[in-house]
Structure 1
């Protein structure tokens, strides 16, 4: 059995070797290049992408490079190279171009905005139609609707052939309902109660007024703003090393419910040990210090730091220094928990 297997493998190898020789390209010097099959694309465009020219010796490597280069353009569905005496014949089948793109059923996102987003990923009228691009288009649309909390969105794309090797693309959108927030969990808080922290959020679980306020409807942008409010709360209350470790959004199987989990590290409480002014001071130091609302011994608060910087910038601007640069740089001492 082992010997028989070796003989079969040997025969298979000989067969493949013969096949490779049969299909090997015969080398010849290119006397002319002829392009066939074009409808919209000009021969000049094709020649720009070709790795060979008249006078070159045509061989296997040059053939593979030419086919690869033409396919890479995305313009062609099929590429064949043939020889007619000393003439290299390039036979092409163009991809159809996109004649029109229509959207229906979209209410939350304007058609103009959607088409502009599609143009950015290369899917636009006049461009070569590619099924893979259509799949990317659908992914982009789903991403946009998901960011609005509409995870049950359904898309149906229809491609209709037109004359002159063009296609019409119609996309029907069934937006579905916005997913409602069923629960928000904050994990890692010990200083502030979760109930107090959740009052900082615009996102909430359903209440009596949610029908009017829509505050129980999930959106990625709203959650991002809520997390920033949470961060500001801690930074304004002395927790300069506060960190949001992760935020997880879980969707129910029916895609109508959202569970949000926010993992945080509060860090330690920091106080201000000293306030110093550095750099080129144009105005008297006392005048500048009068505008600084944070003092040594205070609990660190980013809000006070920002307002102090703004007040100094305004003072300098009123004195004619419109382009002055004021930066508040906290120097953190983790050992004694001071700034």
Structure 2
């Protein structure tokens, strides 16, 4: 890694942050990491387990994060927690460092977009507050690779009720639901808010179990729609008992991906896949974050240029699919499930 400075992970001892750090350590054994958490002892334990890592506490109420001026500096800032004051982003911009966030969601990204637009040359800002930090978007784009024209995309996620991402994940969901209970879809090319009965639907698990679902406000809809040009896009979410727990095992996650359109010769084409991970959403979220860090720093491809980015604007879906297979995710045929 030469003289690369540590990646500062805010919330690095939490579920998403620690799993991301573990992936980065596996991929890049010499990449230094700085694990920042509210509980210094917990951060120190995480750092010891990772190796080549340091532990520290930060104050996200301060624009300088409470870090000493002689701290030695960092190579990137990862916000694996909700940072309502945007202290992490401001610190990254002030020091010209790549920044990644995953907790804003569609309803909260306005402040990050404005901050990035006001200082476009300061640093690359990766907004990865999609479901599973953009991994689902990349999976959908991978499934759409053989299409010449995409007419319709439906993503249906089944999340186990015991797999909501820990205290930070629960807090994010509560904050988003306070902002809006409506869902965002694209219909006939128009991005549209839907609520009440219009947002209600069902999702079928691979084992045939049907769960009630709803459309919610997620960044996945505009990311997938604008990347493919599909005029009709929706993302449905169901929370309940997952197939993994129904089998007596751990909480699993299923993401059903349905795509309709035409191939490059104009012939009708449909794809029905289901992205499954037996360990739930955490590995997928960590993967999305790790892929983002890798790309921001130029550890895979060129380093990202300053400006505002989304996962699909930086990360190759085919490469993401390879990494998905490495962490135990499977693309199953869902054509027989309705």
Q: Fold conserved (TM > 0.5)?
A: no
TM-score (norm 2): 0.19
TM-score (norm 1): 0.19
